[in-house]
Amino acid sequence: MKHNFNNQNSLIQSGINLFYTNDGSVGLYNPEIDDIFHSVYGAREEAETKFIRPLNFSKNFSSKDKIRVLDICYGIGYNTKALLKRLIQANYKGKISIDILEYNKELVLLSPFINDTYFNKYPEISYILLYNLCTCLNDENFELNDYINNRSLRKFISPFYRSFNKKYKQVTYTRKPKIKQKAFLHNIYYHCISQRHKIPVKHFKFNKIKIKPYFDDARITVKALKVQYDIIFLDAFTPTKLPTLWSLQFFKELYRLINDDGMLVTYSNSAAVRHAMIDAGFCVGKVLDNTGRNSGTVAAKRIELIENKLSDYDIGLLETSAGIYYLDENLEKPAKKILDEHLNRKKHLNLKSSTQYKKDYLQIMEKNNNG
Ligand SMILES: C[S@@+](CC[C@H](N)C(=O)[O-])C[C@H]1O[C@@H](n2cnc3c(N)ncnc32)[C@H](O)[C@@H]1O
């Protein structure tokens, strides 16, 4: 599908387009790979229904003293933000650490400022991000201030921050130009918590939340990680467009990194993805939306964590050509090579197509029903 987004609304460095989704939150579109980052129906809504609801937080996580999260493909952070909202709502008292994997630094730095519609009710979410980002940044090579005050981008910034240029000038921090971005975030953070939003911030213990960004190819970061996670979000681009984070080998790494009672959640319900997860060792189930339709996949080491098991139909689909997964032996192949090799394997294996499988399956069902 071709999208007709306005080029003027592009991010300065990466050329990614911004637009408003139907729930009033900002979404992104990558013209280079012709893929949207967020559903046009609602970026915020999508994170809450596809990534947070399947966790069943009150049952599976609320009693833990500490929750470790791996947010793969953070983008502008909707999944992390939606989780923070859930933690605030649940009045969660334990510690949280969130490792965010995203190779586009521009997006991560902009994430506290983007109009995600959380700010009015949950300003803490933005402050938590600011607080954590300003403690881990060094010498960034772009001016955040330019984005917030850029004419075509301003409309995508939270209304509260749009007026911040003037306020920022009043609190200008002039020590070392090298640490300007850090100082900028720092200033905003302290300005915010010391002025308008004292009350909500007081109720939430910031020092219990640690967010650490890794600005690299997630495959490189994942290989180097040693800790185990309770929650893993996987929000990579569509597998058929960018298969790098959907290979069997990548899921094997995630299996190594997940706790025995941890959960991995993704929006994808591709048979190739589910098959790779299963062969990597995971128990796999589906996420159903309000209308009972497939809207993603959950994977865990323990079957008890899987609420909606795969049906016989879903399991059969894994053995068709649609269930042939991507291979990336050393986790370093270019996307094109992974796709080409995948196509060759498909041709070579010559399995039943998913369309034929569906037809045959319906026929068998009909026969069984009739007799
Ligand atoms: C579909 S978007 C995710 C949207 C995101 N969760 C959000 O809330 O904005 C995919 C993101 O993954 C990032 N990405 C894609 N491949 C990556 C890789 N190999 N390593 C790290 N980040 C990657 C892209 O820059 C993009 O921000």
Query: Tens of pLDDT along 166-217?
Result: 555 544 444 444 455 566 666 666 666 665 555 455 455 667 899 999 999 9
Ligand 1 residue neighbourhood (C-beta within 6 Å)? 37, 73-79, 101-104, 107, 217-219, 235-237, 244-245
176, HSE (Cβ side, Cα atoms, 13 Å): 6
Q: What is the pLDDT of residues 246-274, one digit of tens each?
A: 999 999 999 999 999 999 999 999 999 99
> According to the model, what pLDDT value does residue 41 have?
86
Q: Which two tokens stand for residue 50?
A: 């596809």
Q: What is the pLDDT of residues 86-132, one digit of tens each?
A: 999 998 999 999 999 999 988 998 899 899 999 888 888 988 898 88
Q: Which of 40, 73, 265, 331 to mutate to test the pocket of ligand 1 (most atoms within 8 A of CB)?
A: 73
- Compute φ and ψ for 215, nearest 5 degrees: -95, 65
pTM of the model: 0.91
Map out the domains of the chain with their CATH numbers.
Answer: 7-214 (3.40.50), 218-366 (3.40.50.150)
Report which secondary-structure segment, H or E, holds 206: none
Instruction: Looking at the CA of residue 244, tell me the nearest atom of ligand 1.
Output: 19
> According to the model, what pLDDT value does residue 208 have?
86
Percent of the chain exceeding pLDDT 90 equals 63
CA of 203 to the centre of ligand 1 (A): 32
If 0-12 CB within 10 Å is exposed, 13-18 middle and 19+ buried, where does residue 171 land?
middle
Under DSSP, the state recorded for 48 is I
| C-beta neighbour count of 322 within 10 angstroms | 19
124-163 exposure pattern, b = at least 16 Cβ within 10 A, e = fewer: bbbbbbbbbbbeebeebeeebbebbbbeebeebbbebbee
Lowest mean pLDDT among 22-26, 58-62, 203-207, 272-276: 203-207
CA of 56 to the centre of ligand 1 (A): 24
Report which secondary-structure segment, H or E, holds 328: none
Query: Which amino acid residue places its CA nearest to atom 10 of ligand 1?
Result: 236
Q: Which of 40, 78, 85, 102 to mutate to test the pocket of ligand 1 (most atoms within 8 A of CB)?
A: 102
Mean pLDDT value across residues 272-281: 98
CA of 221 to the centre of ligand 1 (A): 14
| C-beta neighbour count of 181 within 10 angstroms | 20
